[in-house]
Structure 1
Amino acid sequence: MLDVRRLRLLRELAHRGTIAAVAEALAFSPSAVSQQLSVLEREAGVPLLERTGRRVALTPAGRNLVRHAEAVLERLELAGSELADARQGLAGSLRIGTFPSAARAIVPGALTVLAREHPGLEPMVAEMDPARVGDALRAGELDVALVHDYDFVPAPQEPGLATEPLFSEAMYLASPAGARPAGDDPVGRWREHPWIMGTPGTLCRTMAARACEAAGFTPRVRHQVDEFATVLALVAAGQGVALVPRLGAPEQLAGVTLTRLGMCRRTRTAFRSGAAAHPAVAAFTAALRTALPPDLDEGPPARALAP
């Protein structure tokens, strides 16, 4: 009988590519991961991995088993959802991941709704960049999360996960009040100015860099800041320009001009495949919709980076 926990390790290896990456993501030692995969090979009765020096690749049988593992893990999530639905009332912990602007503007209202309608549920919120959410969900560190993608940064296909659209919001270029260089392109005319961007590796940083590339220039990054309130304070101090979403600039700030752009950020709820019907996940999603600010809109259609 194949062990589902070892199947999960094999699925993670197919996604991450190295035993070290699997070990880091799931808080195991590399030797423990390697040992468990060796046991899985003995259970399967056929080679699942090809080892060349320090590199490991899946054999055709290994890749085929990963397909079955995805189906098995999804069915287990469905079974868990049905069992939870059969209980009387929601209770226990609900581990929620969110990015900072949603944590400030939406999540508190959603938690208020949850406390009123499901007092036995204990939500536990953790802030993290959406780029880390997939790993945390698959590792069981989160039950549900808010994730986003931008124009110029399409959402990657995450194995073992499913998402549900929640809302879209407009993007703005934040510039010091009174500064307006010549040019019709709302991004391109700032090519000679310093920029304030997120830290490398974040979706926000990638989005801003690609928006500048689409406007025909490479930005000169002066400050690297992730928190939008700090970004806007630096803009007001004349330290550069930045791209911010609607939730990152909830009110007009003195010293800052916001110019709406023809691009948007889209937010979705994310969860493990098969968990959409879990009553706690469904309750949180419903509470989020109740807590959305009334002036959020669908924004302009998605726009891809030109080749």
Structure 2
Amino acid sequence: MVDPRYIRMFHEVVQTGSYSGAARRLGYSQPAVSQQMRALEHTVGTPLFTRAGRTMRLTEAGEVLARHAASVLHDLDAAQNQIAAIRQLRAGNLRICSFPSASATIVPAATVHIARDHPDLRIRLIEAEPPDSMETLRRGECDVALAFTYPGVAEQLDGDLVGVAVLDDPVVAVLPKGHRLAKRRSVELADLADERWIAGCTRCRDHFVQECGAVGFEPDIAFTTDDNLAVQSLVAAGTGIALMPSLVLSFLRHPKVISRRVRRLANRQVSAYALRDHHRIPATALMLETFERVGTAMR
């Protein structure tokens, strides 16, 4: 491969018509230019210049290289400018993988900050629940993943991943408005042992069953769905009750349900993750920092 520095110097020699002219324009000594041109000829394997007295002329190979040198240098300059724009966050693309309730709350709040300070940074959002979102990240199909865990089932971070805590999301009981415990400000999970339940995603359901077991009962799960609106509608219709993260209820609340804090129930922990090598990419580092800052403001 030809060193781009040789191409740039060759172009100047052609433009000025001599080694000394190129040396003056580039701020090199004439012997340095001569040495680099010999190195270029060695790389391409054929002479590029001939001399007729004091006149320097291009060989046929030199003419071929001269025709391409200007466009090569133009493309290199364009690439360097685009890389600089990405490095300085004046351009670029960022892919976020998030679970639905974070997509509706944390992501919009973060993108407001990004759009204000870096309006030309383009963001693409895809949705997946953990652990699928983490696998999406590991496969390189997104740059940052928002995921949640519960105490005792923390995300397994191998050496390739880094993460930042975003917020703790309280889990509340969702009850129909006419429920027998509706007048209480908070409840114990054991108070709900005889209820029928609507269960959510796999990770939430596993944690829910574990928490019920810890207070001495096995929940009667009548319906399972990942759709948070469907969960609330089922509760409103009297199919059962549910546990739901507060983040969901901050933007989506059925008019015929109420939420009550469940005492001594662990919060859902929301974090943002990236591949360790990608953490050095300015846009990825910015997104992690922004999610962390937004989470702090939402607490």
Q: Could you tell me which residue of structure 1 aligns to residue 282 of structure 2? A: 279
Q: Could you tell me which residue of structure 2 aligns to residue 233 of structure 1? A: 233
* Maintained 8 Å contact 1:99/1:130: yes
Q: CA deviation at 1:191?
A: 2.1
* Residues 1:191 and 2:193 aligned together: yes
Q: Could you tell me which residue of structure 1 aligns to residue 8 of structure 2? A: none
Distance, in Å, in 2 between the alignment partners of 1:86 and 1:155 is 31
Q: Could you tell me which residue of structure 1 aligns to residue 267 of structure 2? A: 264
Q: Could you tell me which residue of structure 2 aligns to residue 92 of structure 1? A: 92
Structure with max Cα Rg: 2
Q: CA deviation at 1:185?
A: 6.5
Q: CA deviation at 1:205?
A: 1.6
5 Å-filtered alignment, 1:67-82, equals none
Per-residue Cα deviation, 1:21-66 (whole angstroms, up to 9, x for no partner): xxxxxxxxxxxxxxxxxxxxxxxxxxxxxxxxxxxxxxxxxxxxxx
Query: Which blocks of at least 5 consecutive residues in structure 1 are unaligned?
Result: 1-82, 298-307
* Identical columns (%): 31
5 Å-filtered alignment, 1:95-114, equals 95-114=95-114
Distance, in Å, in 2 between the alignment partners of 1:209 and 1:85 is 50
* Maintained 8 Å contact 2:229/2:254: no
Gap change, CA 1:233 and 1:293, over 3 Å in 2 = farther
The structure whose residues are more often helix, as a share, is 2
Gap change, CA 1:123 and 1:250, over 3 Å in 2 = same
Provide the alpha-carbon RMSD of the alignment: 2.8
Task: Classify the secondary structure of the residue corresponding to 2:210.
Answer: helix
Per-residue Cα deviation, 1:268-287 (whole angstroms, up to 9, x for no partner): 11011233343112222343
Q: Could you tell me which residue of structure 1 aligns to residue 248 of structure 2? A: 248
Gap change, CA 1:186 and 1:84, over 3 Å in 2 = farther
Per-residue Cα deviation, 1:120-173 (whole angstroms, up to 9, x for no partner): 221111000120122211211011111111235333344521111111121101
Gap change, CA 1:159 and 1:206, over 3 Å in 2 = farther
Task: Classify the secondary structure of the residue corresponding to 2:250.
Answer: coil
Per-residue Cα deviation, 1:99-126 (whole angstroms, up to 9, x for no partner): 0001011212322322222222211110
Distance, in Å, in 1 between the alignment partners of 2:213 and 2:85 is 49
